[in-house]
Amino acid sequence: MRITIDRDRCVGAGQCVLAADAVFDQNEEDGLVVLRLGTPPEDLESAVREAELICPSGAIQIAAADPAAR
């Protein structure tokens, strides 16, 4: 799993942080999403998928991990 975020779409709702705080954070200055782990471990995948689903602005995208990187 590889995560990308679109800070231009982010509205600072913080739902991603509530769902997966090991992966997402919010910038103290503007409240927008900050990605802590672009490729999280497998045990966090469920939380990351939830964060993607509940993000009100659709700022989180999940792609399959690059098999060559494993």
pLDDT tens digits, residue range 43-59?
A: 999 999 999 999 999 99
* Domain region containing 42: 2-69
Domains held by the chain: number: 1
Q: What is the pTM of this model?
A: 0.88
C-alpha distances in angstroms, 20 versus 46, 67, 68, 69?
9, 24, 26, 23
Residue with the two structure tokens 């992966």 = 23
13-52 pLDDT per residue, tens = 999 999 999 999 999 999 999 999 999 999 999 999 999 9
Residue with the two structure tokens 């497998």 = 42
Residue 12 is part of a domain; what is its CATH number? 3.30.70.20
Question: How many CB atoms within 10 Å of residue 4?
Answer: 11
